[in-house]
Structure 1
């Protein structure tokens, strides 16, 4: 039971860190637009991403997610699944390429 409690406390601390984190992304207010109501298509166009001080972890990724569709991204640990999720939600910006709505 102690092990489960320690795991739960550790997980909660991580969630609390994420909920209180401040975005470190540049904001371009001049390009900000209102989104249309309902589902929106998303496209990754030649996306490259490297974490600070590291080598690129995504190389020239292009994909289209149609509005209202369901898509699964699967792969081995370290293959970039979470990085793609962070790029789609703009928790990070790509090093090169574009994420388009």
Structure 2
């Protein structure tokens, strides 16, 4: 996640607005390995009102990595959990 790297570079007074939410990828699971199943993670983050990051993770491995990076981010910077709408409004400015 690029935003984690940016926070590591700056390390001073970083504030990250973060929204993450999980949704189901498919209402029907047929058991076929090609069928979408499980959960997807949508992450939006805004660093110091300047660096915007948004991604949807659907692969289970990437989903777990994203959660790990979010935990790392929380250890590196001041993280405020906000609504998706709040981030969207700030990005549009």
Q: Structure 2 length normalisation: TM-score?
A: 0.27
Q: Structure 1 length normalisation: TM-score?
A: 0.26
Larger of the two Rg values belongs to structure: 1
Higher relative contact order (Cα pairs below 8 Å, separated by 6+ residues):
2
Q: Which has the higher strand share?
A: 2
Q: Which has the higher helix share?
A: 2
